[in-house]
Amino acid sequence: MKELKPAILLFIVFTVICGGIYPALVTGIASAIFPKQAGGSFITGASNREIGSRLIGQPFSEAKYFWPRPSATAVFGFNPLASGGSNAGPTNPAFIATVGDRVKALHDAGVTGGVPADLVEASASGLDPHISVEAVHVQIARVARARGMTEEELSKLVAAHTEGRQFGFLGEPRVNVLVLNVKLDSLQ
């Protein structure tokens, strides 16, 4: 009993500190320094209504929109609670068939030539909001036709919405599909 009393007391003290005080302090500091990011980085649409987060991919399938990276959570509608990959490897027949179907769908929609991998393979989380600049460029002709815009106008818009490498050296340049599509809607 002599050893049990300090153990229980330490358990209670550390539970209060690590489970209550520390998370509240970190959340408060994050909310004060980075209020938009701590609040979920929501994007508002034309009607001044929140339409999504710049951190989570959104499904788009109409020809007038740039299409995002496929999601393994698509069964649930890009649901962040269902985050995760398909876990199918590159030699899995189901994976090969799925990728083939996606390539065919893109070719049927007017994408010519090679198709970037990020337009046919889901990410590990299934929720990535970004696609490569190449994946956006292969869609420009389709979106331009559907919106009655020139490819040059769209190329300039894509260039304006291309995010560089993080900290100047991490990753590759990328485009947030939701942000780009919201901007397209605001133009028309």
Question: Torsions phi, psi of 184, nearest 5?
Answer: -60, -45
**CA angle, 107 then 108 then 112, to 5°:** 30
**Rounded Cα–Cα distance for residues 132 and 35 (Å):** 28
* SS3 labels along 70-102: CCCCHHHCCCHHHCCCCCCCCCCHHHHHHHHHH
**End-to-end CA, the chain:** 74
Quote the pTM value.
0.79
Please, what's the largest Cα pairwise distance for the chain? Answer: 80
Domain boundaries, the chain: 1-39, 46-187
CA dist., res. 178 & res. 144, Å (int): 17
pLDDT at 22: 97
- pLDDT for the residue 39: 84
pLDDT of the residue at 100: 92
**Angle (CA) 141 147 152, round 5°:** 50
* Helix (DSSP H) and strand (DSSP E) numbers for the chain: 8, 5
Q: Enter the tokens of residue 67.
A: 């299409």
The pLDDT of residue 172? 94
Look at residue 75 in the predicted model and tell me its pLDDT: 59
What confidence score (pLDDT) does residue 78 get? Answer: 66
Instruction: Return per-residue pLDDT of the chain as tens, 188 residues.
Output: 888 999 999 999 999 999 999 999 999 999 999 998 888 888 887 778 888 888 888 888 899 999 999 887 765 566 777 777 777 888 989 889 989 999 999 999 888 888 999 999 888 787 889 999 999 999 999 999 999 999 999 999 999 999 999 898 999 999 999 999 999 988 87
Is 139:123 a contact under the CB 8 Å cutoff?
A: no
